[in-house]
Amino acid sequence: MKEYSYIINGVQKTSDKLIDVTNPANNESIGSYYVSTIEDVEEAVINAKKSQVKWARLSQEERDQYISKITEVLTTNKTYLAELITKEQGKPLSGPGSNFEMDACIGWTQVPTSLQLEDGLIFEDDTRKDILKRVPIGVVAAITPWNWPLMIAIWQIIPSLKMGNTVVIKPSEYTTIASLEMFRLINTVLPAGVLNCVTGDGKIGGHLTSHKLVGKIMFTGSIATGKRIIEASTNNMARLTLECGGNDAGIVLPKTDFDQIAEGLFWGSFLNMGQTCAALKRLYVHENDLESAVNALINITKNFKMGNGLNEENSLGPIQNKMQFDKVNELIETAKNNPNAKLFIPELNVPSEGYFIPITYITGVDNGDPIVDEEQFGPVLPIITYKTVEEAIEKANALEVGLGASVWGSDSNQLEEIVLQLEAGTVWINQHGAIHPFVPFGGVKQSGYGVEFGIEGLKAVTLPKIVSYKK
């Protein structure tokens, strides 16, 4: 099987340690990757720091031209990378799967080049004039998760490069191969040292994020790891953008037609088999609408097939790794021990091999139950009833997270009232998880801080500099 290298200063590197990677749909080996050392991290950051000086001196137009070349190389290799994603991460080629992820990668490289951060006049009178400029931070350390490994890497890389920074990126140890191949391809069109990659577990990530030459850390992952990164950053006082996941709530107004919204609820919940930070993971419905909600969701679920994602008839794939597979199954088993809980599992011919879990709807549970309070990150949706909308809002806000939320219904005035009361970075109306490259995205509470995307995302990878002129 093929062995995949990491890249430092434009050179592919190997080490004494290889980790084998298997397809979560059938446990077949797809290759192995070399694991970086602490010395590799040092080399990567030092080279990124050296390269950043020259990269920052390029004009904005020149850096945009390099980013356009990245768009071209991703477009040319879309099919190859999409198949690697499916083999390694598990999401199907079809539907909102790996081809969708690659389309997002390509689209997200194009948007930043259309945006410009202009100098701003802050103050002017007869004696002085003060201008706000945006300058590069320096070296950006990026840590990516295993659920959307290439797309989230692009979210971190492209704005950073556009604004004159260089990057050292560490992909998740669970989805390293596809990431390495994308980084290799991107390096064919970039100057050496602008994009560097190291591999490994949290030890490598910890050394990277605490490095004294790192000026910015971008992270997507768990709350626990996010807190460790905050601690590590005290060593270098790096700026932080942390997206630490969520346990997003959705509230459906009373008497809403569930047949009309069922598909939106389904994909809002089960995009990437629920392995999405901004997926709908808690659904609150009026007690009189419970039966309608369950029936509509079961009916829509029967339209989709589950299996190996290389078969384009399948739009539902496996859980990415055994750790997460075991966690989701444990939450389901715990829910079964609740005498009030009822499980609804539509027939989908779930494969016997691989990390497959059937789409599961659970009623009779409430806030306080693990299946509700803990982010499942899998194909499970607890449906919780409420008596009043005020009760639903209180329950939706009760947890420590606040990445996204959604409200569903036809009464626009009531929807707007609820939006203002929900504690989340983004609140969607009659949709969920509908992120957009021009629209800032970030969480509140323990879902992290800082935003990505759009003009605000560009600001997040720069430093403000005031230039004050005497008249």
The Cα angle at residue 378 between residues 376 and 384, in degrees rounded to 5: 55
**Long-range pairs, 422-427, Cβ under 8 A, ≥24:** 422/249, 422/251, 422/393, 422/396, 422/397, 423/396, 423/397, 424/246, 424/248, 424/249, 425/451, 426/278
CA dihedral 178, 179, 185, 188 (to 10 degrees): -150
pLDDT tens figures, 253-308: 999 999 999 999 999 999 999 999 999 999 999 999 999 999 999 999 999 999 99
The pLDDT of residue 245: 83
d(CA 36, CA 240): 24
Q: Which of 243, 375, 423, 452 is catalytic?
A: 243
Q: What percent of the chain has pLDDT over 90?
A: 99
Q: Strand, coil or helix: what is 141?
A: strand
What residue spans define the domains of the chain? 3-244+447-470, 248-429
pLDDT tens figures, 405-445: 999 999 999 999 999 999 999 999 999 999 999 999 999 99
Q: State yes or no: pLDDT of 375 exceeds 90.
A: yes
Q: Is the distance from CB of 355 to CB of 378 less than 8 angstroms?
A: no
The single residue listed with the structure tokens 């029967």 is: 302
Q: Is the distance from CB of 280 to CB of 406 less than 8 angstroms?
A: yes
Q: Give just the sign of the alpha carbon dihedral 110, 111, 112, 116.
A: positive
Give the pairing type, strands 139-143 and 214-220: parallel
Radius of gyration (Cα) for the chain, nearest Å?
Answer: 23
pLDDT category at 1 given cuts 50, 70, 90 is confident
Helix boundaries (H) for 92-176? 98-113, 149-162
pLDDT category at 347 given cuts 50, 70, 90 is confident
pLDDT tens figures, 380-392: 999 999 999 999 9
> Rounded to a whole number, what is the largest CA-CA distance in the chain?
77
The pLDDT of residue 54: 98
The single residue listed with the structure tokens 């009030």 is: 340
List the one residue out of 198, 202, 167 whose CA is nearest residue 37: 198
d(CA 444, CA 425): 5
Q: CATH assignment of 248-429? A: 3.40.309.10
The mean predicted confidence, pLDDT, of the chain is 98
Q: Strand, coil or helix: what is 25?
A: coil
C-beta neighbour count of 171 within 10 angstroms: 28
Distances (CA, A) of 434 to 61, 223, 265, 279, 406: 30, 22, 12, 10, 10
C-beta neighbour count of 391 within 10 angstroms: 14
Fold assignment, 3-244+447-470: Aldehyde Dehydrogenase; Chain A, domain 1 (3.40.605)
Q: Which residues of 415-437 are buried (b: 16+ CB within 10 A; e: fewer)?
A: beebeeebbbbbbbebebbeeeb
- Is 312 catalytic? The answer is no
| 143, β-bridge pairs | 170, 219
| 68, β-bridge pairs | none
pLDDT category at 348 given cuts 50, 70, 90 is confident
The single residue listed with the structure tokens 């192995």 is: 32
List the one residue out of 218, 91, 108 whose CA is nearest residue 154: 108
pLDDT tens figures, 313-322: 999 999 999 9
| 8, β-bridge pairs | 11
Strand order in the sheet with 3-4: 3-4, 29-34, 18-22
The pLDDT of residue 13: 98
Q: State yes or no: pLDDT of 19 exceeds 90.
A: yes
C-beta neighbour count of 121 within 10 angstroms: 10
Q: State yes or no: pLDDT of 155 exceeds 90.
A: yes
Mean pLDDT along residues 72-77: 99
The pLDDT of residue 325: 98
Q: What percent of the chain has pLDDT over 70?
A: 100
